[in-house]
Amino acid sequence: MVTEKKYDLEERTLKFTKACVDLCKIVVKDVINLEFIKQLMRASGSVGANYREANESMSKKDFYHRIKICRKEAKESRYWLEILRHANEKYGEQISGLVDEATQLTKIFGSIIANQP
């Protein structure tokens, strides 16, 4: 059962990053959006990458350190999504779904940290 949950969160973080990629493909590449896109890609990609690293960690200390990074990057992703939503009202509904997902991931990682032994 634990493996199944781990897999689901790995898959969920991957889907989140892919959805951010899809968004970044469609927004206008102007001087305003380009920096926001770069920041969002770094942060959203880091969420899933660090979660996978956490699952391969050699110690509990390293696991929780990686999970804290996941939470931080999910929060940062939410920030850049909110900025992109402001700059691209046309995609507001799509971006709002991603903001919600970033918020949920932040809460999930926060819960993992709060429940550490």
pLDDT digits (tens, 9 = 90+) for 12-49: 999 999 999 999 999 999 999 999 999 999 999 999 99
Q: What is the count of structural domains for the chain?
A: 1
Dist CA 106 CA 82 (whole Å): 15
AA identity, residue 72:
K
Range of the domain at 85: 2-114
Asked if 32 contacts 59 with a C-beta cutoff of 8 angstroms, the reply is no
b/e 90-109 (16+ beta carbons within 10 angstroms → b): ebeeebeebbebbeebbebb
Where helices occur in the chain by DSSP H, the ranges are 2-26, 31-55, 60-87, 92-114
**Domain of 32: which CATH number?**
1.20.1440.60
How confident is residue 2, by pLDDT bands cut at 50, 70 and 90? Answer: very low
* Least confident residue range of 2-6, 58-62, 67-71: 2-6
Q: Is the pLDDT of residue 7 over 90?
A: no
How much is the pTM?
0.91
| 27 secondary structure, DSSP code | S
